[in-house]
Amino acid sequence: MKRTISIILAMVMVLSMATISVGAENSIMDTAKNLALNKSETVYLGDNPVVFRLNIPANGKIIVSLYSRAEYTGLQVFNNGGSELKSNKTESSVGEWSWPGYYFSKISSQATTLLWNNFSQQARGTAEYNVQKGMNYARIVSRDVQGECTIKVTFAPNRGATDAIMTATLRRGEQLRLGADLTPANSKDRIAWKSSNRGAVTVSSNGAVRAVARGNADIIAVVNGIELKIRVKVID
């Protein structure tokens, strides 16, 4: 009997992302400096971007807080694969956000720029991103203008269905159809499926799983760099 298991992505807002050549100026890996979560660091912005390495402990979201005394401060966030993430939400208490604005307007549709208040010559704002467990990166740029910027990144893990790896048990030869609910519902993003152990379990490009031989495998759904897993156990 065919069974259907739906991988619910309700807790992870799957948004459009762009992959850009992050090494055009400097490699993220080469220039990144560690930034501990929930700790502030002040840097001086000039012609070169400043890149921070963020070690994320679990799937969830980060809130990047910026306090800048530069006329404009560009912000980009990347996952470990080099895909640029788009912010879910931006807020400002001084100045305003522009998307993408200024420096980034020709190279990225995902980046956002914090513009200072002309009177006070400062800006304060936050940007929220969905992230995955592992190394992520934040890059701040203030091309052609100079000033100090304080950055702080706070992390909140996802709660609910996405915290657990779902499991299924199949007998050899059985099949399973997997699906995914994307947010928003009209999203046209493509889902890529892969198996961690094709000797035990295979999966087609449309999510059809087949139990091949006794063993275990993780079936992974990938949408724009965001992954969710279902663990499949094959018995005789």
Tell me the β-bridge partners of 41: 151
Higher pLDDT, 82 or 150: 150
Give pLDDT, residue 157: 75
Peptide bond into 184 cis (omega under 30): yes
Side-by-side strand order, sheet with 123-131: 40-45, 147-157, 60-68, 123-131, 89-94
The whole-angstrom distance between residue 194's C-alpha and the CA centroid of its chain comes to: 19
Mean per-residue pLDDT for 158-166?
A: 52
Q: How many residues does the chain have?
A: 236
Mean per-residue pLDDT for 158-177?
A: 71
Query: Which amino acid is present at 50?
Result: V
Give pLDDT, residue 19: 33
Give pLDDT, residue 137: 93
Give pLDDT, residue 101: 60
Give pLDDT, residue 25: 43
4 burial level (CB within 10 Å; 0-12, 13-18, 19+):
exposed
Higher pLDDT, 225 or 24: 225
The CATH number of domain 32-156, selected from 1.10.569.10, 2.60.120.380, 3.40.50.720, 2.50.20.10: 2.60.120.380
Q: Place 29 in a pLDDT band, splitting at 50, 70 and 90.
A: low
Q: Place 163 in a pLDDT band, splitting at 50, 70 and 90.
A: very low
Q: Which of 20-34, 136-150, 191-205 has the least mean pLDDT?
A: 20-34
Does residue 144 surpass a pLDDT of 70?
no
Question: Mapping DSSP to helix (H, G, I), strand (E, B) and coil, where does residue 29 land?
Answer: helix
Does residue 65 surpass a pLDDT of 50?
yes
Q: Place 224 in a pLDDT band, splitting at 50, 70 and 90.
A: low
Does residue 127 surpass a pLDDT of 60?
yes
CATH 3.20.20.150 fits 3-13+165-235, yes or no: no
Domain ranges of the chain: 3-13+165-235, 32-156
Tokens in use for 103? Answer: 């420096």
What's the angle, vertex CA 130, arms to CA 71 and CA 26, rounded to 5?
Answer: 55
Mean per-residue pLDDT for 19-35?
A: 59
